[in-house]
Amino acid sequence: MGKRKALMAGNWKMHTTAVDGCQLAVDVASACADFTDREVLLAPPFTILSEVSHILKGRPVIIGSQNVCWEEKGAFTGEISPIMVQAAGGSAAIVGHSERRQIFGETDELINKRLRGGLSFGLLMIFCVGETLEEREAGKAFAVLYEQIKKGLADVAAPDMAKVVIAYEPVWAIGTGKTASKEQAQETHAFIRGVLEQIYEKNVAEQTRILYGGSVKPTNVDELMAQPDIDGALVGGAALDAQSFGRIINFK
């Protein structure tokens, strides 16, 4: 099988308000050529999902939220529902980001609920996993990833995997300037694909896109994207700069 369609995603985290966010979105859209082999996704803060979607209407950019609740509506203070994301022009959501896990205490079980909830409304779900430096140094990276994947994908049926993208983001590489080497990233992506084959079947494992995240920059994107099991990138810091992200989405 040839390589899967790449997905280049920018996670803006808690940055940008309407004016700078819309400008950034327009500049990123301008950097998109007539791609056939890749897709571009932006995840702005909830507050400007509508504005960014509106300004990019008709442009080939997928809009996603940085998290999502499993319920349609109700007493869930501080949350955003899948239909709110869709009404704001979004069609995707990120779940399980390490900042949600580490700073806000989100568990594998909670992330699984979010993942299944988003899928039930038809969102494209970017499901993040990743080990800490301590875990990697203790030789536990694969065991930690196995656990996160197994629990995060609990009760997700094989057909729904068409709407799931996994993002491998080693916690030690996020926002630190340290990138996993291309060999480390490839080895881990191949491991994750093996876990998917074990949970589902070869077909599902081969079709699921696995993104790498952790200090992806214009200077390292080409070598990362040349790896057979790396199908895209989830980018934080460099996604806030249109020139850098423009180069990243135009990886060679």
With 0-12 CB in 10 A as exposed, 13-18 as middle and 19+ as buried, what is 74?
A: exposed
Regarding 213 and contact with ligand PEP (CB under 6 A), the answer is: yes
Regarding 11 and contact with ligand PEP (CB under 6 A), the answer is: yes
- For the CA atoms of 143, 161, 54, 24, the dihedral, rounded to the nearest 10 degrees, stands at 30
Rank residues 11 and 65 by Cβ distance to ligand PEP and give the closer one.
Answer: 11
- CA nearest 71: which of 131, 125, 118, 20? 118
What tokens were used for 159?
């057909």
| Residue among 53, 215, 220, 244 that touches ligand PEP (CB under 6 A) | 215
CA-based R_g, the chain, Å? 17
Regarding 49 and contact with ligand PEP (CB under 6 A), the answer is: no
| Residue among 56, 141, 156, 234 that touches ligand PEP (CB under 6 A) | 234
Rank residues 118 and 236 by Cβ distance to ligand PEP and give the closer one.
Answer: 236
Piece in contact with ligand PEP (CB under 6 A), picked from 26-34, 36-44, 61-69, 231-239:
231-239
> Can you tell me the distance from the alpha carbon of 58 to that of 136, in angstroms, rounded to the nearest whole number?
43
By CB under 6 A, the residues from 167 to 206 that bind ligand PEP are: 169, 174-175
- Active-site position among 51, 99, 131, 169: 169
- CA nearest 252: which of 215, 219, 207? 219
Catalytic site includes residue 99: no
Task: List interacting residues with ligand PEP (CB under 6 A).
Answer: 11, 169, 174-175, 213-216, 234-238
Q: Which residues are catalytic?
A: 97, 169
